[in-house]
Amino acid sequence: MSVAKKQYKRITVKSLIEMKANKEKISMLTAYDYTMAKIVDAAGIDVILVGDSASNVMAGHETTLPITLDQMIYHASSVIRAIERCLVVVDLPFGTYQGNSKHALESAIRIMKETGGHAVKLEGGSEISESISRILTAGIPVMGHLGLTPQSIYKFGTYTVRAKEEEEAAKLKEDALLLEKLGCFALVLEKVPAKLAQEVAESLTIPVIGIGAGAGVDGQVLVTHDMLGMTHEFNPRFLRRYLDLYSEMTNAFKQYIDDVKSVDFPNDKEQY
């Protein structure tokens, strides 16, 4: 279904809040490098997230915990060089903002100064409210992230749906209201029941962007490598694959290998 939408020359945090007010859904995808970011931006995405999922997708780690601030800065500055229109949000990695708000501000300032990114994202609610407030005092826009927060995987034990029980759902609703009150411009809700996510979205004026959080929120985010079908071992229910690039790429690589071995490549026109 095609939807009437306002044309934005550049997306800002204000545009996202306006989109929610106008009931226009927000599209967000991850990117970690120049080439991918250029394609995603040119396709018209609203937000690129330089996610700490780079730890899994780009570096092959089992969790998001090992990625460093320097590595996030490398990824984010590559993305920034590619984009013309979208808003770029950069994850603060594990260990750079929890527990010490001064450290959190220093980490966020490094992201803004050294990458040219437009906003930072932090995982958690009341327990990191001091860090969020301090970053906001420097004029740095903050996106929150609640529900399944992968930096806390060893506390959860599994990547299953969060906030199915009343107590955790109530804490999530409180945290969402708190993040809005502190001044966050948007919130990611990851892997929570659709009904709860819709309730949270309806209780806030800032946009709620879901991943595995149903259709009742204000926008959607996916990991680009997952939606392109490059990471074929990851199959959560919420993931829609728009391509099967794993197979496409494998076939192309096999064809290339055959062509090299059989001296079909390069042909007369492909040499000097």
Distance CA 84, CA 106 (A): 27
The reply on whether position 69 binds ligand KIV by CB under 6 A is no
Say whether 222 sits in a helix, a strand or coil: strand
Residue nearest to ligand KIV (CB): 51
Neighbours of 113 (CB within 10 A): 10
Name the one residue in this structure whose structure tokens are 């595995």: 212
Least distance in angstroms from the C-beta of 79 to ligand KIV: 13
Q: Which range in 49-57, 76-84, 235-243, 255-263 contacts ligand KIV by CB under 6 A?
A: 49-57
**3-state class of 189 per DSSP?**
strand
Please name the residue ranges forming H helices in 141-267: 153-156, 166-182, 194-203, 224-227, 245-261
DSSP 139: T
Region 72-111 residues binding ligand KIV, contact defined as CB under 6 A: 91
Q: Is the peptide bond before 266 cis (omega within 30 degrees of 0)?
A: yes
One residue of 48, 51, 125, 143 binding ligand KIV per CB under 6 A: 51
Q: Residues 206-235 vs ligand KIV: string with x where CB under 6 A?
A: -----x---------x-x------------
Q: Give the nearer residue to ligand KIV in terms of CB position, either 80 or 260.
A: 80
Q: Which is nearer to ligand KIV, 7 or 158 (CB)?
A: 158
Where do the DSSP E strands lie in 5-83?
Answer: 26-30, 47-50
Toward ligand KIV, which CB reaches closer, 64 or 265? 64
Q: 24, 123, 180, 190: which is the annotated catalytic residue?
A: 190
User: Does residue number 117 form part of the binding site for ligand KIV (CB under 6 A)?
Assistant: no
Contacting residues for 66 by C-beta, under 8 A, at least 6 apart: 55, 59
In this complex, which beta carbon is closest to ligand KIV, that of residue 11 or of residue 72? 72
Tokens of 59: 């570096």
Q: Is 165 a catalytic residue?
A: no
**Which residue from 24, 46, 52, 218 is in contact with ligand KIV, where contact means CB under 6 A?**
52
3-state DSSP call for residue 54? helix
List beta partners, residue 210: 189, 220
Q: How far is the CB of 121 from ligand KIV (least distance, A)?
A: 7
- Interface positions with ligand KIV (CB under 6 A): 30, 49, 51-53, 91, 188, 190, 211, 221, 223
Active-site residue set: 190
